[in-house]
């Protein structure tokens, strides 16, 4: 039988490309992206991996790789192939993940994720096209640009004093323990091309067997941006690039590597609830009650005053009572003495934004917080402020009450529980219509495991609530 050697593993035509010439690639004449596509496609077909494979297209000239590979395809944001590849690999144990990236995508914006994924030994075959220049954007200097090479952003040639030295990705990755296979190849003569073909197959065999991370750096030139014909481009690769970036297999542990078997991913709600301890009666599912009012509460004060805990207790209370809730903190880097605030939203319908920009209630534990957030209180809203800050004149239409929170906490038996005292006042005056039982369970839950603290806070809550019920709001 006659044998016809032709391209395999790629689509016969490229309708995703649209427009004219749907049987040709979008690559410039002489560009070796097409050579690499053909070699990857051939290996995937020979290894019978197309139905298991997801090729990740990068940002760069390879952005449209999904036009060509007859596999599953994803096109991802610039430099994010390693992260997306990790996600795919971790959720689809049997997937063969192929990441196809250039030097801007992998070695510049995606450098961190590339190294982290390599260091985790993710099951990804990475094909890294190093052509020492940014192609898609029009010939800018890349991390891999050779010293002295002229690009449109290094018109005098790359100066290492200004721009550092060419980045050796294969060698960098070779510093990590996890990768199974690391090679650098080129197509600058047919012997090297056939070795590249073997390296590509090896990287994909490692994926077939689920053995882990494989990295193949492919040197090529960019005839268009480097203004070379294919002979000059080939000489550039052989005589300059390969001097800076030596070819070879830097590591091959395929024989001794064992398949990585990760537990099946389980995103069922019951499983997630269990992981986050939400499968208890303290976290009932919210009940849809569209007619119930929505409350947006802002709480603010010094860091360390328990402002964030106050919000959590209120949110837990509403959650316990079957409301949809959000709790959204904002605080400085300091653990104590900075400012802190949080917004709590309680609703009968799912909460959209957790931001509280217009509040029904403001709880201000100090004057700077009061001054910052008072203007956001809606007309008819309620201001509760710590009486320690002195007299406050609220804006028209805002009801205000000075709460001697620290004194109420002391009287209740726990001087540190001024925040719980405020919760007691909210329970009495907030108008939330939440059952008292829910507050008590939220407080108990918040200080779980510390019975004396729970009892003290419950006492403060009761005392402050009783005090508030005797107050008259304007």
Which is closer to another protein, CB of 53 or CB of 359? 53
For another protein, which stretch binds (CB under 8 A), given 32-40, 50-58, 108-116, 333-341? 32-40
Which is closer to another protein, CB of 194 or CB of 437? 194
What is the residue-wise DSSP string for 299-346? EEEETTSSHHHHHHHHHHHHHHTT-EEEEEEEE-S-SSSSEEEEEEEE
6 part of the interface to another protein, by CB under 8 A? yes
Bin 407: left if φ > 0, else alpha if -120 < ψ < 50, else beta. Answer: alpha
Which is closer to another protein, CB of 69 or CB of 213? 69
Among 66, 68, 245, 327, binds another protein (CB under 8 A): 68
Which is closer to another protein, CB of 237 or CB of 438? 237
Which is closer to another protein, CB of 242 or CB of 376? 242
d(Cα 315, Cα 9) in Å, to the nearest integer? Answer: 55
Closest to 439 measured CA to CA, from 457, 412, 414: 457
Q: What is the per-residue binding string for another protein in 403-432, x denoting contact by CB under 8 A?
A: ------------------------------
The CB-of-126 to another protein minimum distance in angstroms stands at 21
Continuous segment of H or E residues that includes residue 297: strand 295-302
Among 5, 161, 255, 452, binds another protein (CB under 8 A): 5
The CB-of-43 to another protein minimum distance in angstroms stands at 12
For another protein, which stretch binds (CB under 8 A), given 174-182, 187-195, 266-274, 418-426? 187-195
Which is closer to another protein, CB of 234 or CB of 369? 234
* Residues from 201 through 260 that contact another protein (CB under 8 A): 223, 229-231, 234
Which is closer to another protein, CB of 38 or CB of 168? 38
The CB-of-38 to another protein minimum distance in angstroms stands at 6
Which is closer to another protein, CB of 238 or CB of 425? 238
The CB-of-98 to another protein minimum distance in angstroms stands at 17
Residues 6+ apart with CB under 8 A from 190: none
* Contact predicate 260/121, CB 8 Å: yes
Residues 6+ apart with CB under 8 A from 278: 272
Residue entry with tokens 């004093």: 161
7 part of the interface to another protein, by CB under 8 A? yes
The CB-of-246 to another protein minimum distance in angstroms stands at 22
Q: What is the per-residue binding string for another protein in 35-64, x denoting contact by CB under 8 A?
A: x-xxx-x-----------------------
310 part of the interface to another protein, by CB under 8 A? no
Long-range contacts of residues 143-147, Cβ cutoff 8 Å, at least 24 apart: 143/103, 143/107, 143/108, 143/111, 143/167, 144/103, 144/107, 144/169, 144/245, 146/240, 146/241, 146/244, 147/244
Torsion over CA: 362, 367, 369, 374 (sign)? positive
452 part of the interface to another protein, by CB under 8 A? no
Encoding tokens for residue 63?
């952005």
For another protein, which stretch binds (CB under 8 A), given 6-14, 281-289, 439-447, 455-463? 6-14
What is the residue-wise DSSP string for 57-124? E-SSGGGGGGGTBSSEEEE-STT-HHHHHHHHHHH-TT-EEEEEEEHHIIIIITHHHHHHHHHHT-SE
d(Cα 202, Cα 254) in Å, to the nearest integer? Answer: 8
Q: Is 451 helix (H, G, I), strand (E, B) or coil?
A: helix
34 part of the interface to another protein, by CB under 8 A? yes
* Contact predicate 132/149, CB 8 Å: yes
Q: Which residues contribute to the site for another protein (CB under 8 A)? A: 1-7, 10, 12, 21, 23-25, 27, 29-35, 37-39, 41, 68, 187, 189-190, 193-194, 197, 223, 229-231, 234
């Amino acid at each position: 039988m006659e044998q016809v050697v032709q391209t395999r593993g790629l689509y016969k035509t490229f309708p995703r490309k649209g427009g004219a010439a749907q049987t040709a690639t979008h690559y410039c004449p002489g560009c070796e992206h097409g050579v690499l596509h053909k070699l990857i496609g051939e290996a995937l077909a020979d290894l019978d991996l197309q139905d298991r494979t997801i090729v990740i297209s990068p940002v760069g000239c390879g952005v449209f790789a999904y036009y060509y590979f007859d596999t599953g395809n994803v096109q991802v944001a610039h430099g994010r192939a390693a992260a997306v590849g990790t996600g795919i690999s971790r959720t689809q144990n049997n997937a063969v993940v192929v990441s196809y990236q250039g030097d801007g995508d992998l070695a510049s914006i995606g450098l961190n994720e590339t190294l982290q994924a390599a260091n985790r030994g993710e099951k990804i075959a990475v094909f890294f096209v190093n052509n020492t220049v940014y192609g898609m954007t029009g010939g800018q200097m890349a991390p891999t640009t050779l010293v002295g090479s002229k690009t449109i952003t290094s018109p005098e040639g790359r100066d290492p004093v200004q721009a550092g030295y060419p980045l050796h990705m294969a060698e960098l990755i070779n510093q990590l323990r996890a990768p199974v296979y690391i090679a650098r190849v080129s197509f600058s003569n047919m012997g090297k091309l056939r070795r590249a073909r073997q390296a590509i197959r090896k990287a994909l065999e490692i994926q077939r067997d689920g053995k882990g991370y494989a990295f193949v750096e492919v040197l090529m030139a960019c005839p268009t941006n480097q203004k070379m014909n294919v002979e000059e481009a080939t000489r550039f690769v052989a005589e300059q690039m390969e001097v800076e970036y030596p070819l070879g297999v830097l590591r091959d542990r395929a024989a001794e590597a064992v398949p990585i078997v990760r537990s099946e991913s389980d995103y069922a709600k019951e499983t997630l609830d269990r992981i986050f301890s939400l499968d208890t009666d303290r976290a009932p599912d919210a009940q849809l009650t569209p007619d119930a009012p929505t409350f947006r509460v802002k709480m603010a004060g010094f860091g360390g005053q328990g402002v964030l805990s106050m919000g959590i207790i209120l949110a837990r209370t509403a959650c316990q009572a079957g409301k949809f809730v959000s709790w959204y903190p904002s605080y400085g880097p300091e653990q104590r003495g900075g400012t802190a605030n949080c917004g709590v939203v309680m609703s009968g319908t799912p909460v959209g934004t957790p931001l509280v920009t217009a509040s029904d209630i403001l709880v201000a534990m100090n004057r700077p917080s009061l001054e910052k957030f008072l203007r956001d209180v809606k007309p008819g809203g309620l201001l509760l402020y710590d009486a320690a800050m002195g007299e406050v004149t609220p804006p028209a239409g805002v009801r205000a009450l000075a709460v001697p929170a620290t004194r109420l906490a002391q009287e209740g038996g726990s001087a540190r529980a001024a925040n719980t005292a405020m919760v007691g006042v909210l329970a009495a005056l907030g108008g939330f219509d939440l059952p008292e039982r829910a507050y008590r369970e939220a407080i108990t839950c918040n200080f779980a495991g510390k019975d004396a603290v729970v009892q003290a806070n419950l006492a403060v809550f009761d005392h402050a609530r009783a005090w508030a019920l005797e107050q008259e709001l304007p």
